[in-house]
Amino acid sequence: MIAADELSEEHIVPSVFNPAVVPTIARAVAAAAIADGVARREPAH
């Protein structure tokens, strides 16, 4: 999500305006819910 050349001590969290943030986080949350057995349904792909 963040290229290595964009990382620094001052920039470790991606901007909320980065269009890759929401889908990346949503997939990670869905995967964690499925792995923990708390997902009520499979995510739409």
| Cβ neighbours, 10 Å, residue 29 | 12
What pLDDT, on a 0 to 100 scale, did the predictor assign at position 45?
66
What pLDDT, on a 0 to 100 scale, did the predictor assign at position 44?
78
Q: What is the DSSP string of 7-44?
A: -BTTB-S--TT-TTHHHHHHHHHHHHHHHHT--SSPPP
What pLDDT, on a 0 to 100 scale, did the predictor assign at position 32?
95
Which parts of the chain have pLDDT scores under 50? none
What pLDDT, on a 0 to 100 scale, did the predictor assign at position 38?
95
